[in-house]
Amino acid sequence: MNLEQELKQATIEIFKEEFGVEISSDAVTLNITKKEHTGDYTVVVFPLIKFSKKSPEQTAEMLGEKLKAKINYVAGYNVIKGFLNLSFTSSYWLNRLQEISTNKSYGTFPASGKKVVLEYCGPNTNKPLHIGHVRNMFLGFSMSEILKANGYDVTKVNIYNDRGIAICKSMVAYIHYGNNSTPQSTGIKGDHFVGDWYVKWNEKAKEELETLNAAKTGDFDEDQKQTNLFKETQEMLLKWEAGDAVTIKLWKQMNEWVFEGFQQTFNLLSIDFQKDYFESQTYMLGKDIVEEGVKKNVFKKRADGAVIIDLTPDGLDEKVLLRSDGTSVYITQDLATAELRNKEFGMDKMIYVVANEQDYHFKVLKLALQKLGHAWAAGIYHLSYALVESPTGRFKSREGKTADADDLISEVLRIAEEKTRELGKTEGFSEEQAAELYQTIGLGALKYFVLRVNPYKKIIFNPEESIDFHGHTGPFIQYTHARVSAIMRKAKDLDVSGFSNLQTLNDVERELIILISEYENVVRAAAEKYDPSEVANYVYSLAKTYNKFYHDFPILNASTEDEKKLRVALSAQTGMLIKKGMKLLGITVPDKM
């Protein structure tokens, strides 16, 4: 039983003994005591006065007195208005630190046997990854680490949108203007190579459009349909669907280039997938599922032949699941892939990391599957995140290069190298070690910048200003770890056991232990809320508190041997949790920087 449960349980017992009432543990509000007051944990007694029928102060006094008598580690208390601040004995906290220090798997929970399939990234194969994918990839990877730490068996999957009119545009442009060039021959990264042809297609379509006399709406998506280039592209899509050998061959070649390019970026970012899905293989699936739904009377066939699901009772609209001509829409195949994954993995949760533009889509998907009678559909969760915007508004892939993921990453790495050199931090490093450090710091800065924000909030990203290395940033936390590592190198022969002989703790030591003791709650909360920012903000406060401790008190030169042991043990544990916490964010920490 952990601390909070113990305190709540004791409070419940006291209320039963004193007043003969059963209160629920929800009625007991327990917080960490605010810094300006003395105490470690605080019970808010206002919710309890309706049971005690006494004033808040009287209730708090009574509860404080009884808790002190009942729990041996409650050393004292004070009451301010309706707040009961409890102080614990130093030996309680020292034992707590001892217990955590000897538990190597502190903060990771035993395997629950529950399975999760987590889909993230979801790129199109006609263009390179952009900043939106960056947020997606960081969130997805981090979420998988957090779920693993919570005992889930996680399978990461990716889905490639590798078919349709967009990739055909790249293909048509390549046929016309490519001259059999390749990524190898041009030295361009594969996904950018293919993306360049997509851009070329748009340029050429615009040129052609200007020569046309036909009426224009001003909306390019609409107007482009009048061009011969578009007609040619549509024909190519038909050929593709018919399985035309030449078309398929080119399509495969282009995809190969793109995958190669993507893989380089995945490697650089250290993200991975256990299984890839391809839309080209799933886009025709799902019709049987829709038919089955019609038979079960959950879906309806309209007079025009289209199949719809009526979600007006659920506060949504009618949604088409199959076109009147019998062909699929987006959601048709999603129904199928969901069933497929369930068969394949038999999961308890299925998480989709997808931008919030698709909130509606995933509501419909989940409801449709539930109405089909799939109990497992209750485990579907859409991890929805908001867009990344530039200070002047939404990043558009057509305007400027700032939205491109690879450009962004290399810019961050460049800044990291520059700053690190300025500070002369790589003295004594080999060239490889230095390069590795730049990468660790640069990616740490970027990942942390993205993950510290709650997913449903949009991020304003200014390439020039957002990547910082001071204050509430990844490198600050990495630096704190490097400091701890330096201490540990010097104290490596010290036997830390026995620090619990100490009688007193100073305020900062106590604060650090309380924070360390909270770590496991944070790991739990991050999984429950599907929110890596919980971990990000926690690790920051841990690092911040440690830096204050480091600054205010000598560690290796502490005045007594026991104190030194305690401070080294505190350092070791802080370093450990920074490392573990950052790993949950997909960020590595250096031992020197």
Partner RNA sequence: GCCUCGGUAGCUCAACUGGAUAGAGCAUCAGUUUUCUAAACUGAGGGUCAUUGGUUCGAGUCCAAUCCGGGGUACCA
Displacement of CA 254 from its chain's centroid (Å): 31
Question: Nearer to RNA by C-beta: 14 or 522?
Answer: 522
| Euclidean distance between CA atoms 197 and 177, whole angstroms | 9
Question: Nearer to RNA by C-beta: 179 or 312?
Answer: 312
Residues in contact with RNA, shown as a per-residue x/- string from 50 to 89 under the rule CB under 7 A: ------------------------------xxxx-x----
Question: Nearer to RNA by C-beta: 44 or 298?
Answer: 44
Question: Nearer to RNA by C-beta: 69 or 486?
Answer: 486
Provide, rounded to whole angstroms, the least separation between the CB of residue 433 and RNA: 12
Q: What is the tally of helices (H) and strands (E) in the chain? A: 21, 15
Question: Nearer to RNA by C-beta: 264 or 358?
Answer: 358
Applying CB under 7 A, among 6, 276, 314, 552 the residue interacting with RNA is 552
Provide, rounded to whole angstroms, the least separation between the CB of residue 351 and RNA: 17
Stretch that binds RNA, among 35-43, 191-199, 233-241, 292-300 (CB under 7 A): 35-43
Applying CB under 7 A, among 55, 103, 112, 324 the residue interacting with RNA is 324
**Helix segments in 530-560, DSSP class H:** 533-552
| Euclidean distance between CA atoms 529 and 585, whole angstroms | 15
**Interaction of residue 44 with RNA, rule CB under 7 A:** yes
- 402-421 binders of RNA (CB under 7 A): 416, 419-420
Applying CB under 7 A, among 1, 20, 24, 36 the residue interacting with RNA is 36
Applying CB under 7 A, among 65, 207, 292, 317 the residue interacting with RNA is 317
**Interaction of residue 517 with RNA, rule CB under 7 A:** no
**Interaction of residue 591 with RNA, rule CB under 7 A:** yes
109: number of Cβ within 10 Å: 15
Question: Nearer to RNA by C-beta: 161 or 270?
Answer: 161
Type of residue at 140: G
**Interaction of residue 18 with RNA, rule CB under 7 A:** no
Provide, rounded to whole angstroms, the least separation between the CB of residue 442 and RNA: 9
Provide, rounded to whole angstroms, the least separation between the CB of residue 339 and RNA: 18
Residues in contact with RNA, shown as a per-residue x/- string from 147 to 176 under the rule CB under 7 A: --------------x--x------------
- 102-141 binders of RNA (CB under 7 A): 124
Instruction: For 6-42, give one letter per residue: b (16+ CB within 10 A) or e.
Output: ebbebbbebbeeebeeebeeebbebeebeeeeebbbb
- Rounded to 10°, the helix 245-269/131-149 angle is 60
Provide, rounded to whole angstroms, the least separation between the CB of residue 481 and RNA: 8
Applying CB under 7 A, among 294, 306, 311, 494 the residue interacting with RNA is 306
Check if the beta carbon of residue 255 is closer than 8 Å to that of residue 281: no
Applying CB under 7 A, among 115, 176, 323, 510 the residue interacting with RNA is 323
**Interaction of residue 328 with RNA, rule CB under 7 A:** yes
Q: Find residue 409's DSSP bridge partners.
A: none
Q: Tell which residue, 528, 536, 448, 575, has the closest CA to residue 151.
A: 528
Q: Tell which residue, 149, 66, 156, has the closest CA to residue 105.
A: 149
| Euclidean distance between CA atoms 253 and 182, whole angstroms | 10
Provide, rounded to whole angstroms, the least separation between the CB of residue 183 and RNA: 24
Provide, rounded to whole angstroms, the least separation between the CB of residue 49 and RNA: 8
**Interaction of residue 8 with RNA, rule CB under 7 A:** no
Question: Nearer to RNA by C-beta: 10 or 316?
Answer: 316
- 522-541 binders of RNA (CB under 7 A): 529, 533, 537, 540
Identify the sign of the CA torsion 402, 408, 412, 417: negative
Check if the beta carbon of residue 520 is closer than 8 Å to that of residue 106: yes
- 482-501 binders of RNA (CB under 7 A): 482-483, 485-487, 490
Type of residue at 375: A
Provide, rounded to whole angstroms, the least separation between the CB of residue 100 and RNA: 19
Residues in contact with RNA, shown as a per-residue x/- string from 422 to 451 under the rule CB under 7 A: -x-x-----------x---x----------
The secondary element (H helix, E strand) that includes residue 515 is helix 507-529
Provide, rounded to whole angstroms, the least separation between the CB of residue 162 and RNA: 10
What DSSP assignment string belongs to 118-182? EE----BTTS--BHHHHHHHHHHHHHHHHHHHTT-EEEEEEEEB--SHHHHHHHHHHHHH-TT--
587: number of Cβ within 10 Å: 26
Q: How would you classify the pairing of strands 388-390 and 393-394?
A: antiparallel
Stretch that binds RNA, among 25-33, 125-133, 399-407, 576-584 (CB under 7 A): 25-33
Question: Nearer to RNA by C-beta: 324 or 506?
Answer: 324
Q: Tell me the two tokens of residue 318.
A: 């009618």
**Interaction of residue 42 with RNA, rule CB under 7 A:** yes
Provide, rounded to whole angstroms, the least separation between the CB of residue 423 and RNA: 5
**Interaction of residue 392 with RNA, rule CB under 7 A:** no
The secondary element (H helix, E strand) that includes residue 11 is helix 3-19
Applying CB under 7 A, among 76, 373, 391, 400 the residue interacting with RNA is 391
**Interaction of residue 23 with RNA, rule CB under 7 A:** no
Question: Nearer to RNA by C-beta: 391 or 498?
Answer: 391
Question: Nearer to RNA by C-beta: 177 or 529?
Answer: 529
Q: Find residue 382's DSSP bridge partners.
A: 352
SS3 content of the chain, % helix, strand, coil (to 5): 55, 10, 30
- 338-357 binders of RNA (CB under 7 A): 356-357
563: number of Cβ within 10 Å: 19
Q: How far is CA 498 from CA 91, 282, 562, 568, in A?
A: 12, 61, 7, 12
Q: How far is CA 279 from CA 46, 158, 252, 454, 519, in A?
A: 56, 11, 13, 30, 40
